Amino acid sequence: MQRRQFLQSLALLGLFPERLPAFSSLPREYYQNPKFGNVTLLHYTDCHAQLLPVYYREPSSNVGVGQEYNLPPHISGQEFLKFFGVKANSKQAYAFTHLNFTQATAEFGKMGGFAYLATMINHIREERGKDNTLLLDGGDSWQGSATALLSKGQDMVEASNRLGTDVMTGHWEFTYGENQVKKNLRGFKGEFVAQNIALTEEAQFESNIDHGDVFKPYTIKTLKHARIAIIGQAFPYTPIAHPRRFTPHWRFGIEERNLQDIVNEIRQEKKADAVILLSHNGMDVDLKLASRITGIDAILGGHTHDAIPKPIIISNGSGKTIVTNAGSHGKFLGVLDLDVKPGRVVDFSYRLVPVFSNLIEPDENMQHLIHAIRQPLLTKLQQPLATTEELLFRRDNFYGSFDQVVLDALRKVNDVQITLSPGFRWGPTLLPGNTITMEDVMAQTAITYPETYVRNISGGELKNILEDVCDNLFNKDPYFRQGGDMVRVGGMSFTCRPEAKIGFRISVMRLANGDIIDSTKDYKISSWASVGVPATGKPVWEVIAEYLKDKKVIKLEKINQPKVLLRG
* Spatial contact of 555 and 456, defined as CB atoms under 8 Å apart: no
State which amino acid sits at residue 550.
D
CATH 3.90.780.10 spans which residues of the chain?
382-564
Q: Please report which confidence band the pLDDT of residue 210 belongs to, taking 50, 70 and 90 as the band edges.
A: low
What is the rounded distance in angstroms from the CA atom of residue 386 to the CA atom of residue 388?
Answer: 7
What is the rounded distance in angstroms from the CA atom of residue 144 to the CA atom of residue 47?
Answer: 8
Say what the pLDDT of residue 207 is.
78
Is omega for the bond preceding 73 within 30 degrees of 0, making it cis? yes
Say what the pLDDT of residue 254 is.
97
Q: Answer yes or no: is pLDDT of 11 > 60.
A: no
First to last CA, the chain: 50
3-state SS of 61-93?
A: CCCCCHHHCCCCCCCCHHHHHHHHCCCCCCHHH
Q: Answer yes or no: is pLDDT of 443 > 50.
A: yes
Q: Answer yes or no: is pLDDT of 21 > 60.
A: no
Say what the pLDDT of residue 359 is.
87
Q: Answer yes or no: is pLDDT of 176 > 80.
A: yes
DSSP track, 301-318: E-SS--B-SSPEEEE-SS
What is the rounded distance in angstroms from the CA atom of residue 430 to the CA atom of residue 544?
Answer: 15
Q: Average pLDDT in the 89-114 region?
A: 97
Give the predicted TM-score (pTM) of the model: 0.93
What's the whole-number average pLDDT of the chain?
A: 92
Q: Average pLDDT in the 515-529 region?
A: 97
Q: Average pLDDT in the 395-415 region?
A: 96
Q: At what angle do helices 401-414 and 540-551 cross, to 10 degrees?
A: 90
Residue range 35-50+112-371, CATH number: 3.60.21.10
Say what the pLDDT of residue 326 is.
98
Answer CATH for 382-564 from 1.10.3720.10, 3.40.50.720, 3.40.190.10, 3.90.780.10:
3.90.780.10
* Predicted confidence (pLDDT) per residue in 240-267, tens digit: 999 999 999 999 999 999 999 999 999 9
Q: Are strands 133-137 and 167-168 parallel, antiparallel or unpaired?
A: parallel
Q: Average pLDDT in the 213-233 region?
A: 97
Q: Average pLDDT in the 452-461 region?
A: 97
CATH 3.60.21.10 spans which residues of the chain?
35-50+112-371
| Residues 6+ positions from 113 with CB-CB distance below 8 Å | 50, 51, 52, 53, 54, 330, 355, 357, 362
